[in-house]
Structure 1
Amino acid sequence: MRFVPLIALALLAACGPGENDPGPGGVTMSEARELNEAAAMLEPDSVSANALDNGSDQP
């Protein structure tokens, strides 16, 4: 009987979101992770809109 709480705790510790469980925004957890990784790769490459020269100051 002493091991019942330990077994229950071990079983609960194994519970968690699976790869195919729905995640935020209606995508799976693995898709959400991949989107986050892609966003993290794009952020350092982003340029401020103020830094762009669009030629609007020419007459």
Structure 2
Amino acid sequence: MRVAAAAFCLSLAACGPGADDPGPGAVTVGEAKALDDAAAMLDARRPPAEAATVAPAPPPPTPPTTPSAKP
């Protein structure tokens, strides 16, 4: 009897959520895994922080000049 109970517990513990089972938020477990995989791929494509350079801001436009009136 103990062997059967132990086998049942082990087989039940091996069961995981199915891909269509509700997961965190309003997505299924399969969708959540796909989102995690996509985020990991995007993180792998991102350059390191020290490689990022910030371009200086362009100077403000100069006001148009008007010809001076001669007396």
Confirm or deny a common fold (TM above 0.5). Answer: yes
Aligned to 2:59: 58
Give the letter for the 1:51 counterpart.
Answer: T
Alignment of 1:16 with 2:13, yes or no, is no
Q: Which runs of no fewer than 5 residues in structure 1 stay unpaired?
A: none
Aligned length: 57
Give the letter for the 1:6 counterpart.
Answer: A
| Superposition TM-score, scaled by structure 2 size | 0.57
- The structure-2 alpha-carbon separation of the partners of 1:45 and 1:7, relative to structure 1 and needing over 3 Å to count, comes to closer
SS of residue paired to 2:34: helix
Structure of higher CA gyration radius: 2
| Superposition TM-score, scaled by structure 1 size | 0.64
- Percent identity reads 44
CA-atom RMSD in angstroms: 2.4
- The structure-2 alpha-carbon separation of the partners of 1:19 and 1:2, relative to structure 1 and needing over 3 Å to count, comes to same
Higher helix proportion (structure 1 or 2): 1
Q: Which runs of no fewer than 5 residues in structure 2 stay unpaired?
A: 61-71
Deviation at 1:40, TM superposition (A): 0.5
